[in-house]
Chains A and B, each alone.
Chain A
């Protein structure tokens, strides 16, 4: 049997969300707020079910996921590659860092107009924007992870006559892995945000487009269900990487 206290502990975090949900239900039922602006919770659930059952939802989610993952993969490869180059090689650091510092303060959303001019309203454009924006956390984390590689490891590697490629793969990458993975996780959540932003700007399909159009047409239930889907995608993406992180880095502890 659970004691009263431990039962309370268990349900404590749910009390406030439950109260909010109840208030939401009561307020929307009482016509205090127009349904045009605030849909009832059951309408949101119905909208989710409708979207899922008429099959419209899957291509929408698919488009968003594809862009997000493609952009993130490009950013990750670039970020880890450049980061290793800069973090392990002080010469490259001196040469490349000022240029990168020059570009870093640009908000990724602000480069959208430039990318649209160069690439048009295409998937490639969206992927490029995501790649630009989620590059930075991966790059910075890789650089700091690589810089922190123990000097003794370098000595061991050179004593064992590893080339720089061997040193990178066998010593530097594993040692910097926790930092890199943390950067990858930040990059992925940025990728989702940028994907939604780019989809809202270009209106080229995907969840971002869907929620913006829902808002313009006062379909508030569809708008809320879209926001829920974005939240779920973000939660799952973050959770997956955390899981991989825990599995892959288990050997370190």
Chain B
């Protein structure tokens, strides 16, 4: 085994080592077992919560609200980005408003959404949509602007109607950017959904986290935190995999 491979192996084992130390510290009499729980307790809490359906219901609530907000925000953001990308005058007209609204963090609008919609999925959906809208719009705008003008000339020469021009030329040439925008949007949607639930909305994974914390059940807190991390991690791994599959030809071409 080379030295390099040894370091890599140690790196992969380090998380397990830390978990083992955590477990040892928790059962040793030196540290009073209180706020930090221990890996075994956390795992058994997670299994228990999965069996009684708590995890499934909370995950469904979070993913449904986050997903609907994502669809809404990505659709509106995509259309807006398409519009300001195609018509520079529309871009100049709206740029003032965009520069003014874009930096406002979605969570700063959380109290406003609470005021308008009350508790429930509607406020969560609206905040997720707001947060997803901006990155999708910006990416689409840039993508449309960067389309090779020759492609558009071909479309014009072939006398395509506007709809065909859009579906057959514009969208196919920005499909990679659309995917990237969706990937970023999915990440944003999940984080915002969980955040909204942690702060106020009594539903979903975020609320379960708070509930466990208020109920002084550290094993449950860590169990849900681990679950949230697992969802985020597997979503991004899955999307990276799809991206490689779909767009590997892209790289060869460039």
Contacts and interface: CB of A to CB of B under 8 A. Distances in A.
Interface of A: 9, 12-17, 20, 36-37, 90-91, 94-99, 102-103, 105-107, 109-114, 116-118, 189, 192-193, 196-197, 200-201, 211-212, 214-216, 218, 220, 223-224, 226-227, 230-231, 234-235, 238
Contacts of B110: 200, 212
A113 B103 contact: no
Contacts of B115: 36-37, 215, 218, 220, 223
B104 interface: yes
Nearest to A117: B35
B41 to A, nearest CB: 14
A99 B195 CA distance: 24
A196 B92 contact: no
Interface stretch (B71-79, B132-140, B208-216, B243-251): B208-216
25 contacts: A9-B92, A13-B96, A15-B96, A16-B97, A17-B97, A94-B11, A96-B11, A106-B229, A107-B228, A109-B199, A113-B225, A117-B221, A197-B107, A197-B195, A200-B107, A200-B199, A214-B111, A215-B114, A218-B115, A224-B112, A226-B111, A230-B104, A231-B103, A234-B103, A238-B103
Interface string B8-31: 101110110010000000000000
Contacts of B209: 110, 113
B11 A118 contact: no
Which of A12, A90, A220, A238 is the most central at the interface, judged by chain B CB atoms within 10 Å of its CB?
A12
B105 interface: yes
Q: Which of B14, B105, B110, B200 has the most CB of A within 10 A?
A: B105
B104 A95 contact: no
Given A13-B95, A107-B232, A112 B14 contact: no
B108 A196 contact: yes
Nearest to A97: B11
A25 B12 CA distance: 60
A94 B10 contact: yes
Interface of B: 4, 7-8, 10-12, 14-15, 18, 35-36, 92-97, 99-100, 103-105, 107-112, 114-116, 190-191, 194-195, 198-200, 206, 209-210, 212-213, 216, 218, 221-222, 225, 228-229, 232-233, 236
Contacts of A20: 97
A13 B93 CA distance: 5
A17 B194 CA distance: 32
Contacts of B97: 16-17, 20
A13 B14 CA distance: 54
A212 B194 CA distance: 17
Q: Is the interface of B mostly helix, strand, loop or mixed?
A: helix
Contacts, number: 158
Contacts of B213: 113-114, 116-117
Nearest to A210: B111
Q: Which of B195, B216, B232 has the most CB of A within 10 A?
A: B195
Given A16-B93, A95-B14, A201-B199, A109 B194 contact: yes
B104 A117 contact: no
- Chain B CB count within 10 A is highest, among A197, A224, A226, for A197
B46 to A, nearest CB: 15
A228 to B, nearest CB: 9
B7 A91 contact: yes
A2 to B, nearest CB: 17
Contacts of B36: 118
A93 B4 CA distance: 11
B69 to A, nearest CB: 15
